[in-house]
Amino acid sequence: MAVAYGIHLGNSSGSLGALANGTSSVLANDAGDRVTPAIVALHGSEWEVGLPAKSGQASSKSIIKHNKRLMNCDWNDEDLNFVEKSSSCRIQNEEKLVYEFETSETKIYSSPDSIATKIYAKLFTIASHSVKDEGDLKLVLAAPLHWSHSSRERLVKCAELAGFEVLQVISEPAAACLAYNIEESINDINVLVYRLGGSTCDASIIKISNGFISIEKNIYRSDLGGQWLTKDLADFIAQEFKQRWKLDPQESRRAMAKLLHHADNCKHVLSTLNSAHVFIESLVDGVDWSQNVSRARFENIISSKISSYIEPAQKLIETYGESISKIVLCGGSMKIPKLQSAIANLLPNAEILSGINPDEVIAVGCAKQAGMILDFPNLSLTDVNTEVEFLGQDIYLKYLDQTVKLFKEGTPLYTQFTCDIETPKDLKNISFSLHTLPEEDEFAKEEFNIEHLNKPFKLKAVLHDSNFMLQIE
């Protein structure tokens, strides 16, 4: 089976998901990290992408951050000012956007598309090292829900220039649902997908019905993101340093750049551990700084902002309330336990899905979608309007003394359903039969030898071109 890939490239970072032999994973980069910073820098005359661009002596580099904001064809002045303030390269906005990268050795002009291509090329290198055979690396991309078709096409062209073959572009909330196989739900359900990235936030209500994923409502905020929590932590450390040494790091742009870098690392450590150590060499006037920060201290620092961060989810809950049965958490900033519990407390009866690392969820969902597309190579994805066939009646599965509604009327083709099958330990063979009504005769039957399978095992049913395929896993 070919490896299927999925990429989520955000404003702050990117991740590469892979699906092989039914198992999904996120691939690590050359530094061993499964998340690659979406940062590009010109250092001297050499381009740096990812962690090398983020680390090191920032003053000697020309850096661009949050490039994705300007990949949106509908960017505004707020986006332009945000990217310019975050970066250390100049941005010219005359006939078209151009970045001016200048170092002591050279000056180079580049475009947002060229920068995105460099980041995709970094991910392409990671993907190419994961496969033994040369061949096309096929993937699905995720894009923000509010992006236009032309904005999505820009992402596709950049990924293709980097070497990928793009199968499809799906929305980020849909990818988050696919990561947890929510589309396989038998019942119609509403899902709250809450994504908090480095500089933006989305809250979406997703309706799952008959294998279809539809967006009911979405709230997008460009003024909420994890970087403001990083800034609060950096300001706290700066005040501790000032109190001790009577020197103010906030008066130095270089010192604050160092502080923000170490505060960001500290924030990520505190997402999994109860304390983190911060050591900054030569913070101000050659004075080093060493400090332990506890998770309790960090949560106290950010506590005043929690209410504003959960506000988008609260607005959706006011409308949909108890009809929401599941909550999917995604985005790197949702690794923070305090934020996770704040969202969970909004709907105590809803199931919180956080088993996948939040900053990897969307990439995993994209990889799973790519895998499904490769399973059905004749499925056309080029037409905007596509006719879809649906089942005209319910389909029931019978085995041993059990009867299960496998697919209900109105289910579209290419739908998959997976369930756990409990059997006696000494059972060697099992038969499954399909019926249009529980009391009617079977119209299809399949028998499997399960003597050597671990129990319980999984049965996967696939509806394909009005035919049914049963597999055991």
Other beta carbons within 10 angstroms of residue 364's beta carbon come to 26
What pLDDT does 134 receive?
60
What pLDDT does 205 receive?
97
| Fold category of 185-224+305-357 in CATH | Nucleotidyltransferase; domain 5 (3.30.420)
- Beta partners for 468? 463
Low-confidence ranges of the chain (pLDDT < 50): 384
| Multiple choice CATH, 4-171, 3.30.420.40, 1.10.3720.10, 3.40.50.720, 3.40.50.10950 | 3.30.420.40
What pLDDT does 386 receive?
56
Domain with CATH 3.90.640.10 in the chain: 226-304
What pLDDT does 39 receive?
96
d(CA 211, CA 214): 10
What pLDDT does 425 receive?
84
d(CA 72, CA 68): 7
What pLDDT does 384 receive?
46
Residue among 421, 133, 366 at smallest CA distance from 432: 421
Interval 402-413: pLDDT, tens: 998 888 887 777
Domain with CATH 3.30.420.40 in the chain: 4-171, 185-224+305-357
| Fold category of 226-304 in CATH | Actin; Chain A, domain 4 (3.90.640)
